[in-house]
Structure 1
Amino acid sequence: MSEPLLNIQHERLSFFTPAGEVKALNDVTIQMYQGDVLGIVGESGSGKSVTAYSIMGLIAHNGKIIGGTIDFNGHRINELTEKEMQKIRGNEVSIIFQDPMTSLNPVFTIGNQITEVIRLHTNKSKKEALERAEELLNLVGINEPKKRLKQYPHELSGGMRQRVMIAMALACEPKLLIADEPTTALDVTIQAQILELMMELRQKIDMSIIMITHDLGIVASMCDKIAVMYAGKIVEYGKTEDIFYNPKHEYTRGLLRSIPVLTEKEHRKLVPIEGTPVDLLNPPKGCPFAPRCNSCMKICLREMPEYTYITEDHYSACWLLQKEAYMKGGENS
């Protein structure tokens, strides 16, 4: 197998605030190869977006990577200067933010904003950049692209603004596209169109995608693998079918129990995950999900479990799996 496009090993990232150290990421490891589509799911504050922004080198001024490494496309990201990162950002890795209205500048036309990205990262002239911008708007399915280039963000609908954001992200044909909840503010019909568009573009330019979302339905339809995050740690990782049909961590099971199933004949109550998320200023010694877990054991509160591998591509950090493995070992001996 070729070298991974993205290789994050044991990343630890903290934000240093007046209240203390917020341990946002705690030993995160991710590997992605060219063409992979990875979904990162978890509730708000689990570390999904922080993981993505650390790949882009977009950590807030009070944030610092205090352990581990981030290797992307031959670059050691956590050792690069801001000037070096500017050459990679937008060129080799791009991001689509959650709300296009706050990401687009209201005082510049769409054409100005797309051509700025193109001219920053390529040697194209102003005329060539405008032609490329028109080509990109065509590519993302925006009608009358010449007219749209002269318009301002407020003159476009939400779906069209999001398509403009995708066009900007794809301007330099990046190796990796990070989509941070790109469809949250859109209605269901436009959401489906945007996701379909992203998958089509992935095929055209052999691009890898990281999809950050709360919506398990989205990752089921478009991702090859899923990383389930909780309290700054990946608690379960595996192929999409493994996560949906053979979940091993109690948090993953809780997420799946809270999804409505439309195909069932009988009505089924949705089961919420009781309790509140962990305070990352004072994270627990043991498993961070233990206080909310119905199957919690004494050891769960004392120690963080190692990963147990169910298959080569499917692993989870849960003491119940360690217990199962021990019991099986006892039965076989």
Structure 2
Amino acid sequence: MNEYLVDVRNERLSFFTPAGEVKALNDVSLFVRQGEVLGIVGESGSGKSVTAYSLMGLTAHPGRLVGGDLYFNGHHINEMKERDMRKMRGNEVSIIFQDPMTSLNPVYTIGNQIVEVILLHTDKNRQQAHERARELLQLVGINEPDKRLKQYPHELSGGMRQRVMIAIALACEPKLLLADEPTTALDVTIQAQILELMMDLKKKLGMSIIIITHDLGVVAGMCDRIAVMYAGKVVECGTTDEIFYHPSHEYTKGLLQSIPNLNEREHKRLVPIEGMPVDMLNPPKGCPFAPRCGSCMKICLKQMPDYTQLSDTHYSACWLLDKAKFESQGDVQA
């Protein structure tokens, strides 16, 4: 019996395009325990959403899993057929898609869209499904639920539409909730309300959450652990405190340096990460962050480092952790 609810082992996933093979995920390993919140952070194109969608069998064409094993709640996802995946989606794992503005169908009422999910995944009749939809809207903090069920998406604000998306995701009380940029396009007040709502629902329902974001401020207050992704790889993973207070990978340090610090007495300029993301059609032989790293050594350009275990919960893939050894061998800064 696997001790983890989610266990991704050495996942490799590529998109086979006319221009060539885009290696979107390259040897990704992650795990999530029951009731745990994992944050996956990184810039656009780092592989965050692709990792989450692959857990639900939602990899878009022409993407294909080419290696590794994915386990969820006792299921070996690699070997599941589409009809079994459909039973799992919604019932055991649900997703909040990135943009609530476009995720809801504009020609159906809110009630129709929630009821459809309940009828599809449960044995409730239409009347029971309608009552369950009303309960879900109350659960996610939407006032006047009877009125909202009859409204169309364009009649609701962005924050309310995001709450509707959460209600749909929670319709069958899943064991795992995937939240893909759940606060995109929301102002900071509504953003805080949505994150607080997700944490309250986690406590009530006992579910696990994987939250995908490029905003480290979002994960700081709600995640137990954080995985930092860059160019289809997990470059560092640890508890929230370890990532924020003891970052060991240069990319993680760069992300942290680009966040404004309101506690500083003196005004300081933000330090951007120079350069551009790597070309995933032709990924480098060594560390993918090496071309943008201010502390790059010759070995960084030649070979991908192994993970260095910094504690029981913290590991990082960076040659700088073995810098003294390589300086003695002549692999000095490039």
Query: Shorter-chain TM-score: what band?
Result: over 0.9
Structure 2 counterpart SS, 1:119: helix
What amino acid sits opposite 1:273 in the alignment? I
Q: Hey, what does 2:71 align to over in structure 1? A: 71
| Equivalent runs, 1:46-125 vs 2, <5 Å | 46-125=46-125
Once the 2 structures are TM-superposed, how far is the Cα of residue 323 of structure 1 from its aligned partner? 3.0
Q: Hey, what does 2:332 align to over in structure 1? A: none
What amino acid sits opposite 2:193 in the alignment? Q
Q: Hey, what does 2:233 align to over in structure 1? A: 233
Structure 1 counterpart SS, 2:255: helix
User: Does residue 281 in structure 1 map to residue 273 in structure 2?
Assistant: no
Pick closer, same or farther for the CA change 1:37–1:153 going to 2, 3 Å: same
Structure 1 counterpart SS, 2:221: helix
Q: Hey, what does 2:214 align to over in structure 1? A: 214
Q: Hey, what does 2:142 align to over in structure 1? A: 142
Structure 2 counterpart SS, 1:111: helix
The whole-number CA distance in structure 1 between the counterparts of 2:219 and 2:127 is: 39
Once the 2 structures are TM-superposed, how far is the Cα of residue 304 of structure 1 from its aligned partner? 0.3
Per-residue CA distance 1:179-201 (angstroms, 9 max, x = gap): 00010110110000000000000
Q: Which moved more, 1:222-231 or 1:71-80?
A: 71-80
Q: Hey, what does 1:26 align to over in structure 2? A: 26
Partners of 2:239 and 2:314 within 8 A in 1: yes
The whole-number CA distance in structure 2 between the counterparts of 1:189 and 1:292 is: 34
The whole-number CA distance in structure 2 between the counterparts of 1:295 and 1:67 is: 32
Structure 2 counterpart SS, 1:222: coil
The whole-number CA distance in structure 2 between the counterparts of 1:62 and 1:78 is: 17
Once the 2 structures are TM-superposed, how far is the Cα of residue 82 of structure 1 from its aligned partner? 1.4
Pick closer, same or farther for the CA change 1:102–1:241 going to 2, 3 Å: same
What amino acid sits opposite 1:278 in the alignment? V
Q: Hey, what does 1:200 align to over in structure 2? A: 200
Q: Hey, what does 1:331 align to over in structure 2? A: none
The whole-number CA distance in structure 2 between the counterparts of 1:113 and 1:324 is: 59
The whole-number CA distance in structure 2 between the counterparts of 1:60 and 1:32 is: 24
Once the 2 structures are TM-superposed, how far is the Cα of residue 253 of structure 1 from its aligned partner? 0.3
The whole-number CA distance in structure 2 between the counterparts of 1:127 and 1:318 is: 57
Once the 2 structures are TM-superposed, how far is the Cα of residue 252 of structure 1 from its aligned partner? 0.3
Once the 2 structures are TM-superposed, how far is the Cα of residue 322 of structure 1 from its aligned partner? 2.5
The whole-number CA distance in structure 1 between the counterparts of 2:256 and 2:324 is: 22
Once the 2 structures are TM-superposed, how far is the Cα of residue 324 of structure 1 from its aligned partner? 5.3
Structure 1 counterpart SS, 2:310: strand
Per-residue CA distance 1:24-69 (angstroms, 9 max, x = gap): 0000000111001000000000000000010111011211100001
Q: TM-score, normalization: structure 1?
A: 0.96
Q: Hey, what does 1:38 align to over in structure 2? A: 38
The whole-number CA distance in structure 1 between the counterparts of 2:150 and 2:286 is: 56
Per-residue CA distance 1:128-167 (angstroms, 9 max, x = gap): 0000000000000000001111111111110000000000
Q: Hey, what does 2:293 align to over in structure 1? A: 293
The whole-number CA distance in structure 1 between the counterparts of 2:29 and 2:325 is: 23
Q: Hey, what does 1:154 align to over in structure 2? A: 154
**Structure 1: unaligned runs, 5 residues or longer:** 328-333
Where does structure 1 differ by over 2 angstroms across 4 or more consecutive aligned residues?
A: 322-327
What amino acid sits opposite 1:138 in the alignment? Q
What amino acid sits opposite 1:292 in the alignment? R
Q: TM-score, normalization: structure 2?
A: 0.96
What amino acid sits opposite 1:213 in the alignment? T
Q: Hey, what does 2:256 align to over in structure 1? A: 256
The whole-number CA distance in structure 1 between the counterparts of 2:96 and 2:167 is: 10
Structure 2 counterpart SS, 1:123: coil
| Alpha-carbon RMSD | 1.2
User: Does residue 270 in structure 1 map to residue 270 in structure 2?
Assistant: yes
Once the 2 structures are TM-superposed, how far is the Cα of residue 111 of structure 1 from its aligned partner? 0.6
Per-residue CA distance 1:266-305 (angstroms, 9 max, x = gap): 0011000000000000000000000000111111000000
The whole-number CA distance in structure 2 between the counterparts of 1:267 and 1:101 is: 37
Q: Hey, what does 1:190 align to over in structure 2? A: 190
**Structure 2: unaligned runs, 5 residues or longer:** 328-334
Structure 2 counterpart SS, 1:190: helix
The whole-number CA distance in structure 2 between the counterparts of 1:245 and 1:45 is: 26
Partners of 2:2 and 2:74 within 8 A in 1: no
Q: Hey, what does 1:303 align to over in structure 2? A: 303
Per-residue CA distance 1:245-269 (angstroms, 9 max, x = gap): 0000000000001100001110011
Structure 2 counterpart SS, 1:311: coil
The whole-number CA distance in structure 2 between the counterparts of 1:325 and 1:91 is: 51
- Using the aligned pairs only, state the percent identity: 75
